[in-house]
Structure 1
Amino acid sequence: MSDLIDQAEKVWALADDVANARINALSTRILEVARSVERSFEAQCRARGLSTGELLVLDALHRLGLPYEATPSQLRQHFFISFAGLGKRVNALEGLGYVERSQQVTDRRSQKIRLTSNGLHLLRAFDGRQNTIPHRVAIASLESAEQEMLAMLLRKLHRKIETTTAGLSDDPPQA
Structure 2
Amino acid sequence: MGEFDVLTTLQRSGPPYELTAGAFRKAAMVTSGAITNRIDRMEAKGLVERVRDTGDRRTVKIRLTERGHDVTRTFMKEHLANEARLLADFDREECEELAAKLRKLLVALGDTTIK
CA distance in 1: counterparts of 2:11 and 2:88, whole angstroms: 23
> How many residues of Structure 1 are paired with residues of Structure 2 in the alignment?
107
Is there any run of 5+ residues in structure 2 with no aligned partner, and where? 110-115
Is 1:151 aligned to 2:96, yes or no?
no
Three-state SS of the structure 2 residue aligned to 1:109 is coil
Give the percent of matched residue pairs that are identical in Structure 1 and Structure 2.
35
Is there any run of 5+ residues in structure 1 with no aligned partner, and where? 1-51, 164-175
- What residue in structure 1 maps to residue 2 of structure 2? 53
Against the structure 1 CA distance between its residues 74 and 153, is the aligned structure 2 distance closer, same or farther, given a 3 Å change threshold? closer
Task: Give the CA deviation at 1:59.
Answer: 1.4
Task: Give the CA deviation at 1:128.
Answer: 3.2
- What residue in structure 2 maps to residue 74 of structure 1? 23
Structure 1 stretches of at least 4 aligned residues deviating more than 4 Å after TM superposition:
none
CA distance in 1: counterparts of 2:35 and 2:57, whole angstroms: 20
Task: Give the CA deviation at 1:155.
Answer: 4.4
CA RMSD of aligned residues (A): 2.5
Task: Give the CA deviation at 1:61.
Answer: 1.1
Query: Structure with the greater relative contact order (CA < 8 A, sep ≥ 6): 1 or 2?
Result: 2
TM-score, structure 1 as length reference: 0.52
Matched letter for residue 145 of structure 1: E
Against the structure 1 CA distance between its residues 63 and 77, is the aligned structure 2 distance closer, same or farther, given a 3 Å change threshold? farther
Task: Give the CA deviation at 1:136.
Answer: 3.8
TM-score, structure 2 as length reference: 0.76
CA distance in 2: counterparts of 1:70 and 1:83, whole angstroms: 15
Three-state SS of the structure 2 residue aligned to 1:107 is coil
- What residue in structure 2 maps to residue 138 of structure 1? 86
Matched letter for residue 73 of structure 1: G
CA distance in 1: counterparts of 2:100 and 2:28, whole angstroms: 23
Higher normalized strand content (fraction of residues): 2
- What residue in structure 1 maps to residue 73 of structure 2? 124
